[in-house]
Structure 1
Amino acid sequence: MQTLIINAQPDLTNKAHFSTKLQEMFLTKFAAQFPESTATILNLYDTQIPRIEAAQLLKVWEQGATLSSEEAVLAQTSTALLAQFKAHHRIVIVSPLHNFNVTSRLKDYLDNILIARETFKYTDDGSVGLMTDDYKVLLLQASGSIYTNDDRYTSLEFSRFYLQKMFEEIIGFDQFYIARAQGTATLPVKQVLASAAADLDSVFTQFYA
Protein backbone atom coordinates (compact mmCIF):
# COMPACT_ATOMS: atom_id res chain seq x y z
CA MET A 1 0.00 0.00 0.00
CA GLN A 2 1.50 3.34 -1.10
CA THR A 3 1.84 5.42 2.08
CA LEU A 4 2.82 9.10 2.28
CA ILE A 5 3.87 10.47 5.67
CA ILE A 6 3.51 14.25 5.83
CA ASN A 7 5.55 15.49 8.76
CA ALA A 8 4.40 18.96 9.87
CA GLN A 9 6.62 19.20 12.95
CA PRO A 10 8.61 22.49 12.71
CA ASP A 11 11.42 21.16 14.93
CA LEU A 12 11.72 18.00 12.87
CA THR A 13 15.22 16.95 13.98
CA ASN A 14 14.29 16.93 17.68
CA LYS A 15 13.36 13.35 18.52
CA ALA A 16 12.02 14.38 21.93
CA HIS A 17 8.80 15.72 20.42
CA PHE A 18 5.77 13.53 20.98
CA SER A 19 4.62 13.89 17.39
CA THR A 20 8.00 12.51 16.31
CA LYS A 21 7.58 9.62 18.73
CA LEU A 22 4.15 8.94 17.21
CA GLN A 23 5.73 8.78 13.77
CA GLU A 24 8.33 6.32 15.04
CA MET A 25 5.55 4.16 16.51
CA PHE A 26 3.76 4.19 13.18
CA LEU A 27 6.89 3.31 11.20
CA THR A 28 7.58 0.38 13.52
CA LYS A 29 4.10 -1.01 12.95
CA PHE A 30 4.34 -0.29 9.22
CA ALA A 31 7.64 -2.19 8.91
CA ALA A 32 6.18 -5.17 10.75
CA GLN A 33 3.04 -5.21 8.60
CA PHE A 34 4.72 -4.43 5.26
CA PRO A 35 8.35 -5.59 5.51
CA GLU A 36 8.95 -5.23 1.78
CA SER A 37 7.48 -1.74 1.49
CA THR A 38 8.85 1.72 2.26
CA ALA A 39 6.73 4.70 3.21
CA THR A 40 7.42 8.02 1.50
CA ILE A 41 8.26 10.75 4.04
CA LEU A 42 7.72 14.42 3.23
CA ASN A 43 9.14 16.80 5.85
CA LEU A 44 7.27 20.04 5.27
CA TYR A 45 9.74 22.18 7.20
CA ASP A 46 12.61 20.85 5.11
CA THR A 47 10.83 21.34 1.77
CA GLN A 48 9.87 24.32 -0.35
CA ILE A 49 6.09 24.65 -0.06
CA PRO A 50 4.52 27.34 -2.27
CA ARG A 51 2.27 29.73 -0.36
CA ILE A 52 -0.81 31.78 -1.19
CA GLU A 53 0.95 35.08 -1.79
CA ALA A 54 0.88 37.57 -4.65
CA ALA A 55 4.20 36.41 -6.08
CA GLN A 56 3.64 32.74 -5.42
CA LEU A 57 0.46 30.65 -5.81
CA LEU A 58 -1.78 33.61 -6.64
CA LYS A 59 0.45 34.35 -9.63
CA VAL A 60 0.76 30.66 -10.58
CA TRP A 61 -3.04 30.27 -10.55
CA GLU A 62 -3.65 33.42 -12.60
CA GLN A 63 -5.11 32.46 -15.97
CA GLY A 64 -2.76 33.31 -18.82
CA ALA A 65 -0.11 34.79 -16.54
CA THR A 66 3.47 34.93 -17.80
CA LEU A 67 5.65 33.38 -15.12
CA SER A 68 9.18 34.36 -14.21
CA SER A 69 11.75 31.60 -13.85
CA GLU A 70 11.25 31.63 -10.07
CA GLU A 71 7.47 31.46 -10.44
CA ALA A 72 7.79 28.62 -12.94
CA VAL A 73 9.77 26.66 -10.36
CA LEU A 74 7.00 27.29 -7.82
CA ALA A 75 4.41 26.06 -10.33
CA GLN A 76 6.42 22.89 -10.95
CA THR A 77 6.87 22.36 -7.21
CA SER A 78 3.15 22.71 -6.55
CA THR A 79 2.30 20.35 -9.41
CA ALA A 80 4.78 17.77 -8.08
CA LEU A 81 3.33 17.98 -4.55
CA LEU A 82 -0.16 17.38 -5.92
CA ALA A 83 0.98 14.43 -8.06
CA GLN A 84 2.80 12.86 -5.11
CA PHE A 85 -0.26 13.28 -2.91
CA LYS A 86 -2.63 11.70 -5.43
CA ALA A 87 -0.28 8.75 -6.01
CA HIS A 88 -0.51 7.59 -2.38
CA HIS A 89 -3.76 6.02 -1.17
CA ARG A 90 -2.75 6.14 2.49
CA ILE A 91 -1.86 9.56 3.91
CA VAL A 92 -0.37 9.95 7.39
CA ILE A 93 -0.15 13.47 8.82
CA VAL A 94 2.25 13.95 11.73
CA SER A 95 1.74 17.20 13.60
CA PRO A 96 1.76 18.94 16.95
CA LEU A 97 -1.31 20.97 17.84
CA HIS A 98 -0.43 24.68 17.53
CA ASN A 99 -2.94 27.06 19.13
CA PHE A 100 -5.70 24.49 18.61
CA ASN A 101 -4.99 24.16 14.89
CA VAL A 102 -2.61 22.74 12.28
CA THR A 103 0.87 24.18 11.84
CA SER A 104 1.30 27.00 9.32
CA ARG A 105 3.36 24.90 6.91
CA LEU A 106 0.70 22.19 6.88
CA LYS A 107 -1.87 24.81 5.88
CA ASP A 108 0.45 25.92 3.09
CA TYR A 109 0.75 22.30 1.93
CA LEU A 110 -3.01 21.83 1.89
CA ASP A 111 -3.32 24.92 -0.30
CA ASN A 112 -1.32 22.99 -2.91
CA ILE A 113 -3.58 19.93 -2.90
CA LEU A 114 -7.05 21.39 -2.38
CA ILE A 115 -7.32 22.22 -6.06
CA ALA A 116 -10.56 22.40 -8.03
CA ARG A 117 -10.78 19.87 -10.87
CA GLU A 118 -7.89 17.94 -9.33
CA THR A 119 -9.03 16.76 -5.89
CA PHE A 120 -12.58 18.15 -5.96
CA LYS A 121 -14.96 19.81 -8.39
CA TYR A 122 -17.73 22.38 -8.19
CA THR A 123 -21.27 21.39 -9.19
CA ASP A 124 -24.65 23.09 -9.08
CA ASP A 125 -25.31 21.24 -5.84
CA GLY A 126 -21.99 22.12 -4.23
CA SER A 127 -18.48 20.73 -4.33
CA VAL A 128 -17.84 17.01 -4.88
CA GLY A 129 -14.69 15.12 -3.89
CA LEU A 130 -12.72 13.41 -6.65
CA MET A 131 -10.46 11.22 -4.48
CA THR A 132 -12.91 8.40 -3.86
CA ASP A 133 -10.81 5.38 -4.90
CA ASP A 134 -9.98 3.90 -1.48
CA TYR A 135 -8.10 6.87 -0.03
CA LYS A 136 -7.68 7.12 3.74
CA VAL A 137 -5.92 9.57 6.04
CA LEU A 138 -4.52 9.15 9.56
CA LEU A 139 -3.64 12.13 11.76
CA LEU A 140 -0.91 11.51 14.35
CA GLN A 141 -1.31 14.47 16.67
CA ALA A 142 0.52 15.56 19.80
CA SER A 143 -1.02 18.08 22.19
CA GLY A 144 -0.25 19.53 25.59
CA SER A 145 -3.90 19.33 26.67
CA ILE A 146 -6.43 16.51 26.45
CA TYR A 147 -9.19 16.83 23.84
CA THR A 148 -11.23 13.69 24.44
CA ASN A 149 -12.72 14.46 27.88
CA ASP A 150 -15.87 16.10 26.49
CA ASP A 151 -15.01 19.37 28.20
CA ARG A 152 -14.18 22.91 27.05
CA TYR A 153 -11.15 21.70 25.08
CA THR A 154 -13.05 19.18 22.97
CA SER A 155 -14.76 21.81 20.82
CA LEU A 156 -11.46 23.69 20.39
CA GLU A 157 -9.65 20.91 18.53
CA PHE A 158 -9.91 22.84 15.26
CA SER A 159 -7.09 20.82 13.69
CA ARG A 160 -9.10 17.60 13.68
CA PHE A 161 -12.34 19.28 12.60
CA TYR A 162 -10.61 21.11 9.75
CA LEU A 163 -8.63 18.14 8.45
CA GLN A 164 -11.51 15.69 8.74
CA LYS A 165 -13.90 17.97 6.87
CA MET A 166 -11.36 18.76 4.13
CA PHE A 167 -10.38 15.15 3.53
CA GLU A 168 -13.76 13.45 3.88
CA GLU A 169 -16.27 16.05 2.76
CA ILE A 170 -14.30 18.15 0.28
CA ILE A 171 -11.89 15.79 -1.51
CA GLY A 172 -13.78 12.56 -0.90
CA PHE A 173 -11.50 10.34 1.17
CA ASP A 174 -13.18 7.17 2.43
CA GLN A 175 -12.12 7.58 6.04
CA PHE A 176 -10.34 9.87 8.50
CA TYR A 177 -8.56 8.40 11.54
CA ILE A 178 -6.71 10.01 14.44
CA ALA A 179 -4.25 8.74 17.04
CA ARG A 180 -3.23 11.16 19.76
CA ALA A 181 -0.35 11.70 22.16
CA GLN A 182 -2.22 14.12 24.40
CA GLY A 183 -1.75 15.66 27.80
CA THR A 184 1.97 16.04 27.15
CA ALA A 185 2.14 19.16 29.34
CA THR A 186 0.52 17.57 32.38
CA LEU A 187 0.83 13.77 32.33
CA PRO A 188 3.84 11.49 32.88
CA VAL A 189 5.68 10.61 29.67
CA LYS A 190 5.09 6.87 30.09
CA GLN A 191 1.35 7.42 30.46
CA VAL A 192 1.18 9.62 27.36
CA LEU A 193 3.13 7.15 25.24
CA ALA A 194 1.18 4.14 26.49
CA SER A 195 -2.10 5.83 25.65
CA ALA A 196 -0.75 6.94 22.25
CA ALA A 197 0.36 3.39 21.44
CA ALA A 198 -3.07 2.03 22.34
CA ASP A 199 -4.69 4.75 20.22
CA LEU A 200 -2.53 3.82 17.23
CA ASP A 201 -3.17 0.10 17.72
CA SER A 202 -6.92 0.73 17.63
CA VAL A 203 -6.88 2.36 14.18
CA PHE A 204 -3.87 0.87 12.34
CA THR A 205 -5.59 -2.25 11.05
CA GLN A 206 -8.68 -0.33 9.91
CA PHE A 207 -6.44 2.23 8.21
CA TYR A 208 -4.97 -0.47 5.97
CA ALA A 209 -8.13 -2.56 5.58
Structure 2
Amino acid sequence: MTKLLMILAHPHTTVPSKSLQVAATFKASYQAAHPQDEIIVRDLFKTPVPALDSTTMTAWMKQKYGKPLTDAENQQLTAHNTWLNEFMTADKYVFVNPMYNHFLPAELKQYIDVTAVARKTFKYTANGPVGLLTNKKALHIQAAGGIYHTGEQTSVLSMDLGATYLKAALGLYGITDMTQLFIEGADQNPDTAAEIVANAQTQATTLGKTF
Protein backbone atom coordinates (compact mmCIF):
# COMPACT_ATOMS: atom_id res chain seq x y z
CA MET A 1 0.00 0.00 0.00
CA THR A 2 1.30 3.45 -0.93
CA LYS A 3 1.66 5.80 2.02
CA LEU A 4 1.22 9.57 1.65
CA LEU A 5 2.52 11.69 4.52
CA MET A 6 1.16 15.23 4.78
CA ILE A 7 3.22 17.55 6.99
CA LEU A 8 1.21 20.62 8.00
CA ALA A 9 3.26 23.53 9.33
CA HIS A 10 0.68 26.26 9.79
CA PRO A 11 -0.71 27.64 13.06
CA HIS A 12 -4.46 27.34 13.59
CA THR A 13 -6.11 30.75 13.38
CA THR A 14 -9.62 32.13 12.97
CA VAL A 15 -8.63 33.50 9.57
CA PRO A 16 -8.70 30.68 6.97
CA SER A 17 -5.21 29.62 5.91
CA LYS A 18 -4.65 29.71 2.16
CA SER A 19 -2.07 26.96 2.26
CA LEU A 20 -4.31 24.71 4.39
CA GLN A 21 -7.30 25.35 2.12
CA VAL A 22 -5.31 24.32 -0.93
CA ALA A 23 -3.88 21.33 0.92
CA ALA A 24 -7.40 20.20 1.81
CA THR A 25 -8.40 20.44 -1.86
CA PHE A 26 -5.37 18.38 -2.83
CA LYS A 27 -6.14 15.77 -0.17
CA ALA A 28 -9.76 15.35 -1.31
CA SER A 29 -8.68 15.00 -4.92
CA TYR A 30 -5.92 12.55 -4.01
CA GLN A 31 -8.28 10.40 -1.92
CA ALA A 32 -10.77 10.22 -4.77
CA ALA A 33 -8.09 9.24 -7.27
CA HIS A 34 -6.14 6.89 -4.96
CA PRO A 35 -8.72 5.30 -2.63
CA GLN A 36 -6.39 2.41 -1.79
CA ASP A 37 -3.59 4.64 -0.49
CA GLU A 38 -3.00 5.45 3.17
CA ILE A 39 -2.88 9.14 4.08
CA ILE A 40 -1.16 10.21 7.30
CA VAL A 41 -1.46 13.83 8.47
CA ARG A 42 1.26 15.15 10.76
CA ASP A 43 0.22 18.54 12.12
CA LEU A 44 3.31 20.20 13.60
CA PHE A 45 1.23 22.75 15.50
CA LYS A 46 -1.02 20.16 17.14
CA THR A 47 1.77 17.75 18.03
CA PRO A 48 5.07 19.57 18.62
CA VAL A 49 8.19 18.25 16.95
CA PRO A 50 10.51 16.45 19.41
CA ALA A 51 13.15 18.89 20.60
CA LEU A 52 16.81 18.88 19.67
CA ASP A 53 17.95 20.11 23.05
CA SER A 54 20.47 19.25 25.77
CA THR A 55 18.46 16.15 26.72
CA THR A 56 18.66 14.87 23.15
CA MET A 57 22.36 15.61 22.77
CA THR A 58 23.19 13.96 26.11
CA ALA A 59 21.11 10.90 25.23
CA TRP A 60 22.89 10.54 21.88
CA MET A 61 26.30 10.69 23.56
CA LYS A 62 25.29 8.15 26.20
CA GLN A 63 23.88 5.87 23.55
CA LYS A 64 27.08 6.15 21.51
CA TYR A 65 29.22 5.04 24.44
CA GLY A 66 26.80 2.47 25.84
CA LYS A 67 25.91 4.38 28.98
CA PRO A 68 22.48 4.04 30.67
CA LEU A 69 19.84 6.64 29.80
CA THR A 70 17.42 8.36 32.16
CA ASP A 71 13.69 7.93 31.65
CA ALA A 72 13.48 11.43 30.15
CA GLU A 73 16.29 10.64 27.72
CA ASN A 74 14.67 7.35 26.69
CA GLN A 75 11.36 9.11 26.08
CA GLN A 76 13.07 11.77 23.98
CA LEU A 77 14.87 9.26 21.76
CA THR A 78 11.71 7.18 21.42
CA ALA A 79 9.85 10.24 20.17
CA HIS A 80 12.63 11.04 17.72
CA ASN A 81 12.65 7.49 16.37
CA THR A 82 8.86 7.42 16.02
CA TRP A 83 8.83 10.57 13.90
CA LEU A 84 11.86 9.45 11.89
CA ASN A 85 10.43 6.01 11.13
CA GLU A 86 7.12 7.52 10.07
CA PHE A 87 8.99 9.75 7.63
CA MET A 88 11.23 6.99 6.28
CA THR A 89 8.39 4.55 5.60
CA ALA A 90 6.30 7.04 3.60
CA ASP A 91 6.30 6.87 -0.20
CA LYS A 92 5.06 10.38 -0.93
CA TYR A 93 5.26 13.65 0.99
CA VAL A 94 3.24 16.86 1.03
CA PHE A 95 4.71 19.82 2.91
CA VAL A 96 2.30 22.66 3.67
CA ASN A 97 3.37 26.00 5.12
CA PRO A 98 3.18 29.79 4.94
CA MET A 99 6.30 31.78 4.19
CA TYR A 100 7.70 33.38 7.35
CA ASN A 101 10.07 36.25 6.59
CA HIS A 102 11.42 34.57 3.45
CA PHE A 103 11.79 31.21 5.23
CA LEU A 104 9.88 28.27 6.67
CA PRO A 105 8.14 28.24 10.06
CA ALA A 106 10.51 27.14 12.83
CA GLU A 107 8.40 24.01 13.39
CA LEU A 108 9.07 22.78 9.85
CA LYS A 109 12.80 23.54 10.14
CA GLN A 110 12.85 21.48 13.34
CA TYR A 111 11.03 18.66 11.55
CA ILE A 112 13.79 18.60 8.94
CA ASP A 113 16.37 18.50 11.74
CA VAL A 114 14.64 15.48 13.29
CA THR A 115 14.53 13.60 9.97
CA ALA A 116 18.04 14.51 8.76
CA VAL A 117 19.80 11.55 10.34
CA ALA A 118 22.99 10.03 8.97
CA ARG A 119 22.71 6.34 8.03
CA LYS A 120 18.92 6.68 8.07
CA THR A 121 17.86 9.26 5.47
CA PHE A 122 21.33 9.83 4.00
CA LYS A 123 24.87 8.52 4.36
CA TYR A 124 28.34 9.98 4.09
CA THR A 125 30.68 8.66 1.41
CA ALA A 126 34.13 9.55 0.13
CA ASN A 127 32.41 11.61 -2.55
CA GLY A 128 30.03 13.41 -0.21
CA PRO A 129 26.57 12.64 1.25
CA VAL A 130 24.24 10.29 -0.62
CA GLY A 131 20.47 10.12 -0.08
CA LEU A 132 18.88 6.87 1.08
CA LEU A 133 15.22 7.70 0.33
CA THR A 134 15.22 7.25 -3.43
CA ASN A 135 12.17 6.54 -5.62
CA LYS A 136 9.98 8.80 -3.50
CA LYS A 137 8.29 12.08 -4.43
CA ALA A 138 7.28 15.29 -2.71
CA LEU A 139 4.90 18.22 -3.13
CA HIS A 140 5.49 21.59 -1.48
CA ILE A 141 2.45 23.85 -0.98
CA GLN A 142 3.41 27.31 0.25
CA ALA A 143 1.48 30.56 0.63
CA ALA A 144 3.10 33.99 0.65
CA GLY A 145 1.66 37.48 0.76
CA GLY A 146 4.02 38.72 -1.94
CA ILE A 147 5.05 37.32 -5.32
CA TYR A 148 8.32 35.43 -5.61
CA HIS A 149 7.98 32.87 -8.40
CA THR A 150 5.79 34.22 -11.18
CA GLY A 151 5.45 37.11 -13.59
CA GLU A 152 7.76 40.09 -13.40
CA GLN A 153 8.66 39.37 -9.78
CA THR A 154 11.01 36.48 -10.58
CA SER A 155 13.94 38.76 -9.74
CA VAL A 156 13.11 38.22 -6.06
CA LEU A 157 13.10 34.42 -6.43
CA SER A 158 16.30 34.23 -4.40
CA MET A 159 14.43 35.75 -1.44
CA ASP A 160 12.35 32.58 -0.99
CA LEU A 161 15.00 30.89 1.10
CA GLY A 162 12.52 28.43 2.62
CA ALA A 163 11.49 26.71 -0.61
CA THR A 164 15.13 26.55 -1.69
CA TYR A 165 16.14 25.05 1.65
CA LEU A 166 13.36 22.44 1.65
CA LYS A 167 14.25 21.34 -1.88
CA ALA A 168 17.91 21.04 -0.88
CA ALA A 169 17.07 19.10 2.30
CA LEU A 170 14.93 16.61 0.41
CA GLY A 171 17.65 16.32 -2.20
CA LEU A 172 20.03 15.32 0.59
CA TYR A 173 17.62 12.49 1.41
CA GLY A 174 17.56 11.39 -2.23
CA ILE A 175 14.07 12.81 -2.89
CA THR A 176 14.57 14.70 -6.14
CA ASP A 177 11.10 14.29 -7.66
CA MET A 178 9.59 17.46 -6.18
CA THR A 179 6.65 19.60 -7.29
CA GLN A 180 6.04 23.11 -5.95
CA LEU A 181 2.67 24.83 -5.71
CA PHE A 182 2.94 28.47 -4.67
CA ILE A 183 -0.05 30.56 -3.55
CA GLU A 184 1.34 34.05 -3.89
CA GLY A 185 0.31 37.70 -3.95
CA ALA A 186 -2.96 37.68 -2.02
CA ASP A 187 -1.70 40.37 0.37
CA GLN A 188 0.07 42.30 -2.35
CA ASN A 189 -3.05 42.21 -4.55
CA PRO A 190 -6.03 41.82 -2.16
CA ASP A 191 -8.59 42.49 -4.91
CA THR A 192 -7.59 39.27 -6.63
CA ALA A 193 -7.00 37.17 -3.50
CA ALA A 194 -10.01 34.92 -4.12
CA GLU A 195 -8.88 34.32 -7.69
CA ILE A 196 -5.36 33.50 -6.55
CA VAL A 197 -6.64 30.87 -4.11
CA ALA A 198 -9.09 29.47 -6.66
CA ASN A 199 -6.33 29.04 -9.24
CA ALA A 200 -4.18 27.26 -6.67
CA GLN A 201 -7.06 24.96 -5.76
CA THR A 202 -7.49 24.09 -9.44
CA GLN A 203 -3.82 23.15 -9.58
CA ALA A 204 -4.18 21.15 -6.37
CA THR A 205 -7.12 19.21 -7.80
CA THR A 206 -5.08 18.27 -10.87
CA LEU A 207 -2.08 17.30 -8.79
CA GLY A 208 -4.24 15.18 -6.51
CA LYS A 209 -5.20 13.03 -9.50
CA THR A 210 -1.67 12.57 -10.81
CA PHE A 211 0.60 12.75 -7.77
TM-score, reference length from structure 2: 0.88
Corresponding position: 1:7 with 2:8: yes
Structure 1, unpaired ranges of 5+: none
CA deviation map 1:22-43 (0-9, x unaligned): 1111112112212344411011
Higher helix share: 2
In structure 2, which of residues 186, 194, 203 is the aligned counterpart of residue 184 of structure 1? 186
Residue 71 of structure 1 aligns with an amino acid whose one-letter code is E
* Distance in 2 separating the partners of 1:152 and 1:145: 13
**Alpha-carbon distance in structure 1 between the residues aligned to 2:140 and 2:43:** 15
Identity of aligned residues (%): 25
Give the structure 2 partner of residue 17 of structure 1.
Answer: 17
Q: Counterpart of 2:193 in structure 1: which amino acid?
A: V
1-structure distance, mates of 2:117, 2:14: 33
Higher RCO (CA 8 Å, separation ≥ 6 residues) = 2
2:89 aligned partner: 87
RMSD (CA atoms): 1.9
Within 2, Cα distance between the matches of 1:41 and 1:204?
A: 15
TM-score by length of 1: 0.89
Moved over 4 A (4+): 201-206
C-alpha distance in 1 between matches for 2:127 and 2:36: 44
Q: Report the CA distance between 1:201 and its aligned residue.
A: 4.7
Q: Would you say how many aligned residue pairs link Structure 1 and Structure 2? A: 203
Cα distance change on mapping 1:174 and 1:53 into 2, 3 Å: same
**Secondary structure of 1:72's match?**
helix
* Secondary structure in 1 matching 2:194: helix
Alignment gaps of 5+ in structure 2: none
Q: What is the aligned partner in structure 1 of residue 33 from structure 2?
A: 33
Partner in structure 2 of residue 196 of structure 1: 200
